[in-house]
Structure 1
Amino acid sequence: MIFTLSGWFCAIVLTLTSLIHVYWGLGGLWPASDPAELSRTVVGVDAQQMPGLVLTLVIAVLIFAAGAFGFARGVLRWDSLLLIRIPLDILTAIFTLRGAITYLPGPFAQATEPFKTLNITYFSPLILALAVCFALLTFSPRD
């Protein structure tokens, strides 16, 4: 049951996250009112515009793919060392590092507000929860 819930959690959260990235790539501004404010809010840099369409769509596809691995293992119960478990190991490491680096001295320490506060309060805890789900799926028993 925990493995199925972990798969659904990864799939839902990361699908929604990838859709938000597509929206931004196509010029959407939520939750800000202009590109500079959006950059400060979701990227954490003081720039006049967001990254370009191609880069944003590539990131959206990668985020969606991460969720698809969680869905494949947790919900569909697919099991392959090379095609599922090793990618889940890699995703566990990526999400753990991305979530933990927020709380260490480094690039996120110099992030602009409101990203800095949002990252500490919401983004990184969610990313760490996803890392836990990916780890659970990596080590889930074989069917």
Structure 2
Amino acid sequence: MFLIRLLVGAVLALIALLHGYWGVGGLWPGRDPHDLAAKVIGPGELPPAGACFGVAAVLAGAAGTVLLAPRSRPARRGAALTAGVLLLRGLVGYLLPRSGQKFDRLNRRLYSPLCLGLGLLTALSLRR
């Protein structure tokens, strides 16, 4: 189970770093702010830097709770919450109506499957 927790924690930490990168003005995987928004949130403007940093902090905390789950009851609860949120996010991505936008395609092919996989692995790592 340690390797599963390590994998999930590492992926969540990398996603947290990506959100921090966007918070300081990074544009990857977009070419410009409009293209980045189209790929990561859908049509519209990018959220403010503070929102990116907030999401980065939540993801970093989630990574920590997954890694620390076997060591404390609060971390175990946090990891269970993380699993639930990831599973819900993954499912919602498939329940939303299809728009044909860049984000919709990426959401169905990458973001939602990633959330479902991370949620399932987190839940699996909590089994005793």
Q: TM-score, normalised by structure 2?
A: 0.91
Instruction: Tell me if the contact between 1:40 and 1:112 (Cα under 8 Å) persists in the aligned partners.
Output: no
Partner of 1:93: 84
Question: Once the 2 structures are TM-superposed, how far is the Cα of residue 138 of structure 1 from its aligned partner?
Answer: 2.4
2:32 aligned residue (11, 34, 44) = 34
- CA deviation map 1:62-90 (0-9, x unaligned): 011111111113xxx41x33x12221221
SS of the residue corresponding to residue 103 of structure 1 reads helix
Unmatched segments (≥5 aa) in structure 1? none
- Give 5+ residue unaligned stretches, structure 2: none
Percent of matched pairs sharing the same residue: 30
Larger Rg: 1
Q: Any residues of structure 2 matched to 1:59-138 within 5 Å, and which?
A: 59-73=55-69, 77-78=70-71, 80-81=72-73, 83-104=74-95, 106=96, 109=97, 113-138=101-126
Counterpart residue identity of residue 19, structure 1 = L
Runs of 4+ in 1 over 3 A off after TM superposition: none
Aligned length: 128
Q: Which has the higher helix share?
A: 2
Which AA in structure 1 matches 2:119? A
Q: Alpha carbon RMSD of aligned pairs, Å?
A: 1.5
| Separation of aligned partners in 2, 1:61 and 1:68 | 11
Residue 23 of structure 1 aligns with an amino acid whose one-letter code is: Y
Quote the offset at 1:112 in angstroms.
6.0
* Alpha-carbon offset, residue 10 of structure 1: 1.2
Which has the higher relative contact order, 1 or 2, with Cα contacts under 8 A spaced 6 or more apart?
1
Question: Structure 1 CA distance, aligned partners of 2:98 and 2:32?
Answer: 22
- Give distance in 2, aligned partners of 1:112 and 1:40: 11
Q: Give TM-score, length-normalised by structure 1.
A: 0.82
